[in-house]
A = this chain, B = another copy of it.
Amino acid sequence: MKPRTIDKTNLPGPDFGHTPPGLISRSMQPFIRNNSAIRAMFEEGLRMQQEFGAENVFDFSLGNPNVPAPGAVEEAILRLVKDSDPVVLHGYMPNAGFPEVRRTLAEDLNRRFGTGFSEDNMIMTVGAACGLNILLKTILDPEDEVIVFTPYFMEYRAYVQNYGGLLREVPTLPETFLPDLEALRESLSSKTKAVIINTPNNPTGVVYGRKTLQQLSEVLLEAEERFGREILLISDEPYRELSYDGCEVPFVTEFYHNAVVCYSFSKSLSLPGERIGYLLIPDTVTGWKELFNGAVIANRISGFVNAPSLMQKAVAEVIGTDLTETVGYYDRNRRFLYEELSKLGFSCVYPEGAFYLWMKAPEPEADFVARCKKHCILVVPGSSFRGEGYVRIAYCVSHEKLQASIRAWKQIAEELFG
């Protein structure tokens, strides 16, 4: 093919006599406007690094694992590429994923949680965000309500709106940040199609224990009877493997018949860029086969088609890998940061899981975020999670970075507490 130089200025374009209506849909316009703010924040961070040097900027705003993927992942990828037929390794498989991969992951859950899942309960997904989306697409009619507990990962709002659903926020209890079940009971209605929980929690680091899940289940069961309608409990669990002090993360399907799980290997195996996870639909869920088929079809027609094939096989190969080192790294960061900041007079929720510290802002939230920034510390304002009056500090950074930041935290504490 002969290369040609195109003068773009001469490319034909219509001569509108007036300002033409743009290409952007009405529903996307607010997202694009809002995005400028995020971009401005990001560019401000870059500017700070240029002005003060990267080593003097403490960016605790991102949930991007700093611990490298376990060596077993690298070994598995090398082995798979060397030993597999590339037509199979990189080829199409059933849209739900390779059956043997799904079986391996189901059996691992059965071993760990005494469950009875098979490959027929598992759909491999392009991360947990894909799992949530294909599930919501399968269940939501316009105006259906989905309940979340504040504070929460705000992308849930977009996911629900993608399918015409309405997000309904229910508070958590002060101090514990566990669901306010009385408020939940009052918010459930004949319009409620699903409730999303996220445990271990982003942004609070709280883990929902057995008692919480049991009580939550009772409220949902009562509502199902009251309204004569199925209510799906969706557990978003990218942080399942990250819990500390031996804190149990109970498996939600034990407590409620209509519970499904969205999982991601992003955090446990430090593979956030690879987009690999699964959606688990137990056969206790009413009409589970239809829901399973629906989610597989939604996976296809939404454009995911299937989870990346090499990574499907890689996570199955390393399942059961010892995560002590990964969890240990975050644990050391967690204890260090919690203790240091508490000593300085800051008030934080003691994190049982995930890799976030949820800190009470000692002054109006926006002022506090600005003050932190003045000291080259970047944190996410609580209002970004509908958790006003707090900030989220992501401690998935190098321990040295955390240590180096203490001087800045001290200065902030002195300014505030004298």
Contacts and interface: CB of A to CB of B under 8 A. Distances in A.
A307 B410 CA distance: 41
Interface of A: 1-6, 8, 11-18, 20-28, 31-32, 35, 62, 64-69, 73-74, 77-78, 81-82, 85-87, 89-93, 111-116, 126-127, 129-134, 137-141, 144, 155, 158-159, 162-163, 193, 217, 221, 224-225, 228-230, 232, 248-249, 254, 256-258, 270-276, 282-287, 290-291, 293-294, 297-298, 300-311
A213 to B, nearest CB: 12
Contact of A228 (B2, B18, B162, B225): B18
30 contacts: A1-B248, A2-B114, A4-B114, A5-B114, A6-B115, A6-B254, A8-B116, A8-B284, A13-B257, A14-B224, A16-B224, A20-B224, A21-B229, A22-B286, A24-B294, A25-B139, A28-B137, A28-B298, A32-B293, A62-B92, A66-B87, A67-B87, A87-B270, A90-B272, A127-B303, A129-B304, A134-B303, A273-B310, A276-B308, A302-B302
A111 B112 CA distance: 54
Given A69-B86, A137-B28, A232 B3 contact: no
**A-B residue pairs, 10 tightest by C-beta:** A273-B309, A133-B303, A4-B114, A129-B303, A158-B301, A3-B114, A68-B86, A14-B224, A13-B257, A130-B303
A270 B90 CA distance: 7
Contacts of A65: 87, 91
Nearest to A298: B28
Contacts of A257: 11-13
Instruction: Give the interface centre of A23, A64, A158, A284 by most chain B CB atoms within 10 Å.
Output: A23
A21 B4 CA distance: 61
A126 B229 contact: no
Interface class of chain A by DSSP:
loop
A84 B179 CA distance: 42
Contacts of A16: 224-225, 228
A301 to B, nearest CB: 4
Contacts of A15: 225
Contacts of A14: 221, 224-225
Given A23-B232, A138-B25, A284-B13, A275 B304 contact: yes
A25 B163 contact: yes
Contact of A25 (B93, B137, B258): B137
A85 B68 contact: yes
Contacts of A248: 1
Instruction: Give the interface centre of A111, A272, A283 by most chain B CB atoms within 10 Å.
Output: A272
A294 B27 CA distance: 10
Contacts of A25: 137-141, 144, 163
Given A3-B111, A74-B81, A304 B126 contact: yes
Contacts of A23: 138-139, 193, 230, 232, 258, 285-287, 290-291
